[in-house]
Amino acid sequence: MLQALIFGTTGYTGIELIRILSAHPEVSVVAGSSRTWANKKASEVFSYISAEKDFPLVELERLLDKPEADVAFLALPHGDSAIAARRLLESGVKVIDLSADFRLKDLGTYESWYGLHKDPDLLNSGVYGLAEIHRDEIRTAELVANPGCYPTTVILGIAPVVNIDGVDTSFPIVDSKSGISGAGRGAKLNTSFSEAGEGFRPYGVIGHRHIPEMEQELSLLAGRKITVRFTPHLIPVSRGMVSTIYLRTVPDLDAETLRDAFEKFYENEQFVRVLPKGIFPDTARIRGSNQVHISVEIDQRTHYAVIMTAIDNLVKGASGAAVQNMNIMFDFEESAALMGLPLFP
Amino acid sequence: MLQALIFGTTGYTGIELIRILSAHPEVSVVAGSSRTWANKKASEVFSYISAEKDFPLVELERLLDKPEADVAFLALPHGDSAIAARRLLESGVKVIDLSADFRLKDLGTYESWYGLHKDPDLLNSGVYGLAEIHRDEIRTAELVANPGCYPTTVILGIAPVVNIDGVDTSFPIVDSKSGISGAGRGAKLNTSFSEAGEGFRPYGVIGHRHIPEMEQELSLLAGRKITVRFTPHLIPVSRGMVSTIYLRTVPDLDAETLRDAFEKFYENEQFVRVLPKGIFPDTARIRGSNQVHISVEIDQRTHYAVIMTAIDNLVKGASGAAVQNMNIMFDFEESAALMGLPLFP
Amino acid sequence: MLQALIFGTTGYTGIELIRILSAHPEVSVVAGSSRTWANKKASEVFSYISAEKDFPLVELERLLDKPEADVAFLALPHGDSAIAARRLLESGVKVIDLSADFRLKDLGTYESWYGLHKDPDLLNSGVYGLAEIHRDEIRTAELVANPGCYPTTVILGIAPVVNIDGVDTSFPIVDSKSGISGAGRGAKLNTSFSEAGEGFRPYGVIGHRHIPEMEQELSLLAGRKITVRFTPHLIPVSRGMVSTIYLRTVPDLDAETLRDAFEKFYENEQFVRVLPKGIFPDTARIRGSNQVHISVEIDQRTHYAVIMTAIDNLVKGASGAAVQNMNIMFDFEESAALMGLPLFP
Amino acid sequence: MLQALIFGTTGYTGIELIRILSAHPEVSVVAGSSRTWANKKASEVFSYISAEKDFPLVELERLLDKPEADVAFLALPHGDSAIAARRLLESGVKVIDLSADFRLKDLGTYESWYGLHKDPDLLNSGVYGLAEIHRDEIRTAELVANPGCYPTTVILGIAPVVNIDGVDTSFPIVDSKSGISGAGRGAKLNTSFSEAGEGFRPYGVIGHRHIPEMEQELSLLAGRKITVRFTPHLIPVSRGMVSTIYLRTVPDLDAETLRDAFEKFYENEQFVRVLPKGIFPDTARIRGSNQVHISVEIDQRTHYAVIMTAIDNLVKGASGAAVQNMNIMFDFEESAALMGLPLFP
């Protein structure tokens, strides 16, 4: 059995890693870090964990001290991840980092959005862990930077047509909507049930930190600069994310051509579904699964392609993608532990 | 007391009219139509209605037969409204129609989106009832076409800058999100709690019927053709609507200039609030009120103005606006029965 | 205009007082206390407050210093209320306290459930402010102890039959369910959207603090000791409360007799509705109103009366009842500002 | 691979069977019945179903015609199930029936709650499929009557102490709360999002059809008549069920004794967790799993045991229990396909 560590076990991405890995036939979680719950067993915090899948929760620092494991998942705040990553790598533990620390390749870009990097020398060791785009690099990586949730929906929603004729992908407008678990597990008034429950609102309208990641990856794919206008909103659901992407088209482009480009691009991908004409993605039919649902329409009246992508932000947008990356890095079936159907309803 | 009739009493906009009018010091609902509940009293259907505010529910046809009232609210399907409107007007009853039947001025446009019009001769008698734009015409109207909910958010979100320098309003991209009550009160699988509850999805991505209404009014304001790229989505809340509007700008425009234009345009409007910089509208802080909250931002990186407007789709998006129109038509305080604060949380 | 102060303005009961009082024709909120938002205007915290209804937020201590007002609403934690109440009363300001400080008449009982009382001498000056039971005393009170939300549902659900033949009210079993706003506005993990949102759970199963209050009032009405078995649960709604009350009956009692007793008891009450046979209370049809809906059934198979009472915990369960008390104390229409229909849907 | 048929594929229990069985290593769904979607593939209705797990949807009648399969799950209305069951059994297909048709052993009881039975001769062939109680009989059964969701929570919540000293189990009061998926997938106004979404209400207060099933099984366990006072309520969540059970106790019984009885009774059960003192079950930590969480408290003040049981009504309350039964009948690991952790948050 592969031995796995989870850093930041009791946040939402940590909790989700427990859930997904518990179904993995080849992996065992041997320990997790937790500030709040150190020195407890995981089952004392989450009563649904069975004795045979139980593991100890310890202080972060203790878990970094001579770690014996094959792989570590870092569900830590950025900054903390960079520090932990080096120590783990030096102990021979492969690292899948769910923070932003190794997603951006350019130090200046990182620092203008996130502040000083804690380990700039490691910056370029990380492989951007979006399997559908970088599978081969992930296979041999020691350090994988797991993508952000919003960038996953945007990159997968534009990649197939980034250089197709008739579509202007240089200035996408992206209107995204995320479930509230995306705000993390800290108690905050504006994500409390009574305040967020029957509401809907934009936030971070100017300068959300996921922008540089989208632009880096799309520009790389296009071979030219792509600039994204991005607006996130909060949906009153715990999980689920939809991005509605607007791309200017030439007048005579038809939706079928575009949909074909998507289908061809993803024809060998197990987790991506291009939906038939007139069927739109619904987070309720994604929840709990690692699937990506994509709809492609063209508005002939206004000459826009409208691409809609949906994921579960905690699965394909975080912990599911992380396990997918682990499967690739350790040569397991890429879909191991990830074939679970969504919980509908 | 002004005598009011409600046609289509037990749908959501009818129910909301009961609620709002029950607080009106000068108006009394004397009867309502209902197919399902004819020959009952309103309080038998809605146990919260008190004896003194009670009124009979009767068949539509009976209510049209020599109606004795000052004003009628039509919360009927389009088509039915047109037929009822003529009979009411001929009996000297002023009409506020919440359907689409009299919103579009051009018969061809109406018929290409809605099918044959049931009373084309009346088409141009209707005044488009968005008080912030057409207050003077409403004052003397016999027939008011109450605006659609989406168009309300879009027209109010663009009107103040429709011809301002530096903003291209000819091709707005509008990404809208609506609470589920907007789909009406008929039982449908896709608006059932279990299916819609923890979900979020686009719908009607190409060719939603509210588009011609937005374009008619914006083009009229601009004095030139405006074409809207419009995508509606369904939020799992009963009430609430947000439109996020993208307008291309010249590079050097600042947000303050834009926000000033909004504040000036709405300075005498009781129901419209232009929010301070960095504060975004939240449907949870609108729910149950007739208010419109608007945020205005400019993204200097991508040269887009992002305008966000929020309303309660059943109040300012329907029944509240209808009562506002009635107040204007009958020379009451425009805010009578409409000053209630939102129900937060 | 009556001048009112709100202590604890930005908690949920404070916010709800603002909403309700804004519709009151005879009352003006002149200032409020807030720890977090002192030195702001209320409209800066709640953008929906209009200029004409605006008022300053100040530190608690400052608001207690020579207060000039007719009435003060205390939406403060217990303990703090006792201290504030004395200072206000000494300045000639009538006090309506929404905390538990003056609800219990017996000091020993208070202290065994809440700890040391901060002003025991005042304990017996408070009138228990459930208007349907203590209206006459409230009329002349200087200090009113506004009832807890759960006790409101339980007392009103048993009072009409507390001494009726054939019903054993000495040991009621009460199974209650409350919306999440009842937990207050502090940010807590277990009331966050993601944790509470799609859940339902009991809490405080043994020894909830609202028990002595129920027992005091029911025992007083009965003239003998009544002991309540009480279990609260949390519903994933922001507002709304239902209590399901089980009372043992003799075999031959029929539901009509019981329902008649309720109807007679409440026949002059504007806010209480006894629902017809087979109709059950639904918090969705109460939300935002001061109404109490009561259903009464008898199970002939098991010889139990099942009484179900529903309120909006923030209105009749808190701020609505407080305004109702104010109306009585100052000889306004008892229903002033309280006739608003529920927000349905 | 075991060949399975699902009758009533596109209702919620059918959908849930697809989800659970898709993870089963030894079972393949070969066909399903659907009135609405006959002649489509399952993946055309549920876009998340992959090609390799796809299967045809056909008319009920066609699926009953010479069925070739090892097992059939009947997610049909009662009445229809009885008819289908006989034909399947005659073709040598084992049947797991999720309707009420074979749960009650007494024909008179069945007919007084459900009307005429469609195949009385089969009535006593069915084994009541609550594995924790009837595992051995299930092992050899040809026809299993899968338990109702409410009865599952009630029987499992009382069975361990049904004959313990000091607890009076003859007249349990059961106050239950169910997620809305329990009402089935038909579109109904009272389970629409807008009507049920922010509400909570009792229903079926007198005479819910699940009562005889609870009483039959508890009486059987006790060896004497047990009569249940049962009130169901609707929670605004799609999945989840809690029953709060009140049992009278003698004064000196302590909670530890009771909790021990539960722990001992369930010590070899993989799906039942007796929670530690002070921890209460929460449907949010059950959702999607086959687990049963039970809390046991004693109120020394009123001499009541309060037992709280929670399940996911679609899993342990329906389709999960059905698969558990199938595993037992076909000698698979009892937990095969059922070890998935809950989806939290």
pLDDT at C331: 98
pLDDT at B84: 98
Would residue A131 count as lying in a domain?
no
Contacts of B179 in chain C (CB under 8 A): none
Q: Domain span at residue D249?
A: 150-313
Kindly indicate the confidence band of residue A167, based on its pLDDT and cuts at 50, 70 and 90. Answer: very high
pLDDT at C227: 98
Instruction: Nearest by CB to D47, from A285, A288, A345: name it.
Output: A285
Contacts of C194 in chain A (CB under 8 A): 12, 179-181, 185, 191, 238
From the centroid of its chain, how far is CA D6?
A: 16
Give, in degrees to the nearest 5, the angle at Cα C219 between C214 and C220.
105
From the centroid of its chain, how far is CA A41?
A: 27
Please give the share of chain D, as a percent, with pLDDT higher than 90.
99
Pair (B93, B159) in one structural domain: no
A197 in contact with chain C, both atoms CB, cutoff 8 A: yes
A112 in contact with chain B, both atoms CB, cutoff 8 A: no
A56-88, pLDDT tens digit by residue? 999 999 999 999 999 999 999 999 999 999 999
Query: Can you tell me which residue has the tokens 């799950």?
Result: D73
- Chain C: residue whose CA lies nearest to A180: C194
Considering its fold, how many domains does chain A have in total?
A: 2
Give the closest-approach CA distance of D212 to chain B in angstroms: 28
Pair (C63, C176) in one structural domain: no
pLDDT at D189: 96
Distance CA B266, CA B272 (A): 6
Would residue A38 count as lying in a domain?
yes
D169-176 average pLDDT score: 98
Pair (A204, A306) in one structural domain: yes
Contacts of B244 in chain A (CB under 8 A): 175, 202, 231, 233
C120 in contact with chain A, both atoms CB, cutoff 8 A: no
Give the closest-approach CA distance of D259 to chain C in angstroms: 15
Cα first-last separation, chain A: 34
Distance CA A246, CA A251 (A): 15
Pair (A192, A84) in one structural domain: no
D270-308, pLDDT tens digit by residue? 999 999 999 999 999 999 999 999 999 999 999 999 999
Pair (C86, C197) in one structural domain: no
Q: What long-range pairs does B74-77 form, CB within 8 A, spacing at least 24? A: B74/B7, B74/B8, B74/B98, B74/B99, B75/B6, B75/B7, B75/B8, B75/B9, B75/B11, B75/B13, B75/B14, B75/B17, B75/B99, B75/B319, B76/B7, B76/B8
Cβ separation of A236 and C197 shorter than 8 Å?
A: yes
pLDDT at B186: 93
B50-98, pLDDT tens digit by residue? 999 999 999 999 999 999 999 999 999 999 999 999 999 999 999 999 9
Distance CA A75, CA A94 (A): 14
198-217 of C, contacting B, C-beta below 8 A? 198
Kindly indicate the confidence band of residue D329, based on its pLDDT and cuts at 50, 70 and 90. Answer: very high
Pair (D158, D113) in one structural domain: no
Pair (D111, D159) in one structural domain: no
B310-343, pLDDT tens digit by residue? 999 999 999 999 999 999 999 999 999 999 999 9
pLDDT at C272: 98
Give the three-state DSSP class for B150. helix
Q: Mean pLDDT, consecutive 10-residue segments, chain C of 345 residues? A: 97 98 98 97 96 97 96 97 97 98 97 96 95 98 98 98 97 98 95 96 97 98 98 98 98 94 98 96 98 97 98 98 98 98 97
D324 in contact with chain A, both atoms CB, cutoff 8 A: no
A266-280 average pLDDT score: 97
pLDDT at C246: 98
Cβ separation of C238 and A193 shorter than 8 Å?
A: yes
User: Mutating which of B113, B171, B175 best tests the A interface, going by the most A Cβ atoms within 10 A?
Assistant: B175
Structure tokens at A271: 């987790």
Give the closest-approach CA distance of A261 to chain D in angstroms: 19
Pair (A108, A167) in one structural domain: no
Pair (B190, B270) in one structural domain: yes
Give the closest-approach CA distance of C235 to chain B in angstroms: 15
Would residue A138 count as lying in a domain?
no
C297 in contact with chain D, both atoms CB, cutoff 8 A: yes
Instruction: Nearest by CB to A283, from B200, B238, B295: name it.
Output: B200
Give the residue from C262, C317, C341 showing the smallest Cα distance to C12: C317
B280 in contact with chain C, both atoms CB, cutoff 8 A: no
Give the residue from A337, A333, A330 showing the smallest Cα distance to A144: A330
Pair (B162, B308) in one structural domain: yes
Cβ separation of C185 and A197 shorter than 8 Å?
A: no
pLDDT at B266: 98
pLDDT at D231: 98
- Chain D: residue whose CA lies nearest to A314: D345
Contacts of A185 in chain C (CB under 8 A): 189, 192, 194
C164: burial class by Cβ within 10 Å (0-12, 13-18, 19+)?
middle
> Is residue D326 within 8 Å of D96, Cβ to Cβ?
yes
Would residue C344 count as lying in a domain?
no
A209-215 average pLDDT score: 98
C236 in contact with chain A, both atoms CB, cutoff 8 A: yes
Instruction: Nearest by CB to B237, from A200, A227, A229: name it.
Output: A200
For the entire predicted model, the pTM comes to 0.97
Cβ separation of D192 and B198 shorter than 8 Å?
A: no
Whole-number average pLDDT of chain A: 97
A286-306, pLDDT tens digit by residue? 999 999 999 999 999 999 999
Cβ separation of A273 and D344 shorter than 8 Å?
A: no
- Chain A: residue whose CA lies nearest to D340: A23
Pair (B303, B155) in one structural domain: yes
Cβ separation of C344 and B293 shorter than 8 Å?
A: no
> Is residue C280 within 8 Å of C306, Cβ to Cβ?
no
User: Mutating which of C171, C200, C275 best tests the D interface, going by the most D Cβ atoms within 10 A?
Assistant: C200
C148 in contact with chain B, both atoms CB, cutoff 8 A: no
Would residue C324 count as lying in a domain?
no
Q: D191-202: string of b/e by CB count within 10 Å (b at 16+)?
A: bbbbbbbbbbbb
For chains C and D, what is the number of CB pairs under 8 angstroms? 154
Report the CATH number that the domain containing residue B291 is assigned in CATH: 3.30.360.10
Would residue D259 count as lying in a domain?
yes
Cβ separation of B279 and C238 shorter than 8 Å?
A: no
6-45 of C, contacting A, C-beta below 8 A? 12
Catalytic residue, candidates C84, C149, C155, C328: C149
Contacts of A34 in chain C (CB under 8 A): none
Please give the positions of B annotated as active site. Answer: 149
Distance CA B48, CA B15 (A): 11
pLDDT at A129: 98
Report the CATH number that the domain containing residue A63 is assigned in CATH: 3.40.50.720
pLDDT at A80: 97
pLDDT at C285: 97
Handedness of CA D108, D110, D111, D113 (dihedral sign): positive
Would residue C103 count as lying in a domain?
yes
Would residue C331 count as lying in a domain?
no
User: Mutating which of A193, A203, A312, A343 best tests the C interface, going by the most C Cβ atoms within 10 A?
Assistant: A193
Contacts of A22 in chain D (CB under 8 A): 339-341
Pair (A116, A172) in one structural domain: no
